[in-house]
Structure 1
Amino acid sequence: MTIVDVLTGFAESGGIGILKPGASLADVSERLGPPQDGEYFPSRRRKKDEPRNLRYGDVRLEVCCDILRAVALSTGSGSVDVPSGVPGEAEAMPSAVTAAQLREAFSTEGIRAEEGTWPEPAEQVTLVVRHSPADVHFTFRQTGPDESGGGGAVLHSAIARDTHHVCR
């Protein structure tokens, strides 16, 4: 499996394997084992009703009401660990992929991706694949001058976030 396979699957299904907005944490934990703490500032106390941040390898989850609200993968470090589907195991892979490579993979699979409407900052390109309950946003950063509409931009992150969630 390659990073392009993982990202194409994310675009097709709206998630990375079973890690999708709307999935129950209990179901995910039953299949993949317990998640790791994913808090960015572990010593900070969370406020009541504030989402928890968990992770499986480098796939970060935002969990509220024991439902996955967001699934994110940051690829800027050069490699990522993604769940292999076996509890407690992750697969390491190089994470460098350009906008042109991902557009080509999406085209091959018949996936429709739209350009994001927020080109800020100027060196950023975003491709959006529509899904319910959460669209998948692939954000690329330009690494140098490029005349091909972001074709040389390198993927920085991919995220699907359910913006319609209301806590019970």
Structure 2
Amino acid sequence: MALLDMMAEVGLTGGIGVLRCGASLTDVFAALGPAEDLGGIDEPRHGSHRFCYGDVEFITCRCRLVSTMGISTWHDAPLELPAPGSNTVVAFPSHMTYQQITSALDAIECRWWLDTRVPDTQRTVLTEPSADSWASFTFSTTDGCDGPVLDDPRLYKVNAWDVSHECPAVPVSLPQDG
């Protein structure tokens, strides 16, 4: 799958392949293999937990459903993303632009709009993959902190998050990794 197709999929579905908001950690691990464990971020037992596959970081809630995911694209190194349908991480060129992303969203008829609450140094595109999730594509309008204004803003970060999930009670016997 091409990189722009993967980015458009985030806008349309809130994820890449099985790695999406609302997916169970068990299903993600079954499809992609174990992720790198970045540790807990909440209460010591049964709280939120961070994982990653290459440059895709995701957080599971205490019931081990993916609640957020993010992809940092600001760096000059190749972008490493999980290949849908396999347990491998694939490297892609990291630079994508506003025009490329919005064209990819348009090509799959993914409705998007600009977030007007961002500073002048950014441009943010929002999508609503479902009634329960959102996705955002944040672009830098300048080349570096004090650099010149870009004709076509560069993609800086992609995020998707679940907005309405409420965890059921979690048994004390449940292992930390779900």
TM-score (normalised: structure 1): 0.85
Q: What's the counterpart of residue 31 of structure 2?
A: 31
The whole-number CA distance in structure 1 between the counterparts of 2:90 and 2:59 is 21
Q: What's the counterpart of residue 53 of structure 2?
A: 56
The Cα RMSD (Å) is 1.9
Q: What's the counterpart of residue 47 of structure 1?
A: 43
Aligned-pair CA distance for 1:38: 2.9
- Contact (CA 8 Å) 2:12, 2:128: kept in 1 or not? no
Q: How do residues 11-30 of structure 1 correspond to structure 2 at under 5 angstroms?
A: 11-30=11-30
Report percent identity of matched pairs.
30
Aligned-pair CA distance for 1:46: 4.7
Q: What's the counterpart of residue 149 of structure 2?
A: 145
| Structure 2 alignment gaps of length 5 or more | 143-147, 169-178
Aligned-pair CA distance for 1:67: 0.5
Query: Equivalent residue of 2:16, what SS?
Result: coil
Deviations 1:110-164 (A, max 9, x none): 2211101312x22011101112221111111112325xxxx61111111111122
TM-score (normalised: structure 2): 0.80
| Structure 1 alignment gaps of length 5 or more | none
Q: What's the counterpart of residue 89 of structure 2?
A: 90
Task: Determine which structure has more spread, i.e. the larger CA radius of gyration.
Answer: 2
Q: How many residues get paired?
A: 158
Aligned-pair CA distance for 1:92: 0.3
Higher strand share: 2
Deviations 1:37-78 (A, max 9, x none): 234xx8xx8524531110111111101111000111111113
Q: What's the counterpart of residue 115 of structure 1?
A: 114
Match of 2:129 among 128, 131, 142: 131
